[in-house]
Structure 1
Amino acid sequence: MQATNPQRVLAALQDYWTSHRAMPSFGAVAQVVGLSVSTVADGVGKLKAANFLKAGPTGRLQPGQRFFERQLLGRVQAGLPAEAGDIQPEGMVIDEYLVDTPAQTVLLTIKGESMRDVGLLPGDVVVVRRELYPNVGDIVVAMVDGDEMTVKQLAQGPDGTLYLQARNPDYPDIRPREQMRFIGIVIGQFRRYARTFRPLRT
């Protein structure tokens, strides 16, 4: 069996899972991957040993602990380009990286541009850990005087009062008249870029 076949099996199963939210039966794996049954069986065995796959109660394949890892290729320069060289990819599970306490974590979508200067743009999804007692300087999700939730940076005035600071000079800060209730603190964010399909000119 070629050394690349376990990765080929894994990639095909990950794509299948994304589309179906289930694994194909073992007999169908070879057809999905496009390899012989014996080659697939060898690859599946190696993936089980590496905790990418496991057998369920009925023997059907299930995602293992590492199934949802994505390759982490290291750091990339945003300045002058550098040669990639021989990169040895590691694995990272995005959920484990962003979420410390799953039961206390929610996702929210950003509306408006009041937090533009800290990189939170409309359509971004922020990872919010429920927290009733944030620190000054935290980016928080809060409700002020019964209004809808907002995302701002928690700040403190010279007199000690807390307020919500916008990070865009075109937007006002929010100072509670009566009550400010904290929903949580922002611990991460992500965004998806839309692709533009334009043929390359030759």
Structure 2
Amino acid sequence: MRINRDNEHLNTLKDYYAEHKVLPSYAGIAELLGMKSRASVQQLVSRLKENGYLDNKVPRRLVPTSKFLERPLVGSAPAGFPSPAEEALGDAISIDDYLVEHPSATVLVQVDGDSMIGAGINSGDIMIVRRESRPRVDRIIVAIVDGDFTIKYLRKDKQGYFLEPANPAYPIIRPDNDLQMYGVVVGQFRKYDE
């Protein structure tokens, strides 16, 4: 892909898509990017399609590809002692591709409460949950206990399955009647105040 202004134009289109959830028409692209000729827009779109960022599977409408939605992975940052800050461009990843293996079996669940704070799960966090009726022991799961949702570690002992919080202020949960495994937590995210 041409370095000149293609990356700048691509980033402008990404910001537009994030705000409007649709890409502009060719005329809209010209206006958005300040391009005077339709040929310039067509050449840009052609380059973006060749490089895998755009597609037009829907007749007369541009759509973003998964590559369009990728974000650059610029390295790692130690959470211990500081290290020299060098932005080493690495691979790009799509958050969906990274966290969602089975879209039809994946849901989002918002956390309400602090019983899993010791596992780094705060109230308000969004959990990515893969629907699964038989998660493995020692995984963080979403369960339905006696009709109520909860997020806890799934544990097992001689008495059977139970749910363990990651906060000592809360007791373990042994269901009175019914324990259903709703799904396993495969990731989480939160938005910090700006």
Query: Structure 2-normalised TM-score?
Result: 0.90
The 1-side partners of 2:86 and 2:41 are apart by 30
The 2-side partners of 1:85 and 1:23 are apart by 33
> Partner amino acid for 1:32?
L
- Tell me, in whole angstroms, the C-alpha distance in 1 between the residues paired with 2:185 and 2:59: 41
Is the deviation greater in 14-23 or in 79-88?
79-88
Partner amino acid for 1:150?
T
Question: Which residue matches 1:7?
Answer: 7
Q: Which amino acid aligns with 1:26?
A: Y
Give me the CA root mean square deviation: 2.0
Give distance in 2, aligned partners of 1:187 and 1:7. 32
Structure 1: gaps of 5 or more residues: 196-202
Identify which range, 37-46 or 91-100, moves more after superposition: 37-46
Which deviations, in whole Å up to 9, do the C-alpha atoms of 1:101-153 show, x marking residues without a partner?
1111110000110001001100000011111111110111111123x100010
1:177 aligns with 2:176: yes
Instruction: Quote the Cα distance in structure 1 between the aligned partners of 2:22 and 2:174.
Output: 49
Q: How many residues align?
A: 193
Relative distance call for 1:77 and 1:42 in structure 2 (3 A) is farther
Show the counterpart of 1:143. Answer: 144
8 Å contact kept, 1:8–1:33: no
Amino acid at match of 1:171: Y
AA in 2 matched with 1:153: Y
Q: Do the aligned residues in 1 keep the contact of 2:66 with 2:94 (CA within 8 Å)?
A: no
Task: Report the CA distance between 1:35 and its aligned residue.
Answer: 4.1
Bigger shift: residues 9-18 or 92-101:
9-18
Alpha-carbon distance between aligned partners in 1 of 2:189 and 2:97, rounded to the nearest angstrom: 14
Query: What is the CA-CA distance between 1:23 and the residue it aligns to?
Result: 1.4
- For 2:106 and 2:61, the matched residues in 1 are separated by 31
Aligned to 2:122: 121
| Aligned partner letter, 1:7 | N
Whether the aligned pair in 1 keeps the contact of 2:30 and 2:36 (CA below 8 Å) is: yes
Q: 1:166/1:30 Cα in 2 relative to 1: closer, same or farther (>3 Å)?
A: same
In structure 2, give the amino acid aligned to 1:54: D
Deviations 1:28-65 (A, max 9, x none): 21220234445544432221111101234444322123
| Cα distance in 1 between the residues matched to 2:152 and 2:44 | 49
Give the SS at the match of 1:123. Answer: coil
Confirm or deny: 8 A CA contact 1:6 1:44 kept in the other structure.
no
Q: Counterpart of 2:56?
A: 55
Match of 1:43, SS state, is helix
Identity rate of aligned residues, in percent?
A: 37
Q: Which residue of 2 aligns with 1:199?
A: none
Cα drift, residue 17 of structure 1: 1.3
Which contiguous aligned blocks of 4+ residues in structure 1 show a shift greater than 4 angstroms? none
Identify the residue that residue 21 of structure 1 maps to in structure 2: 21
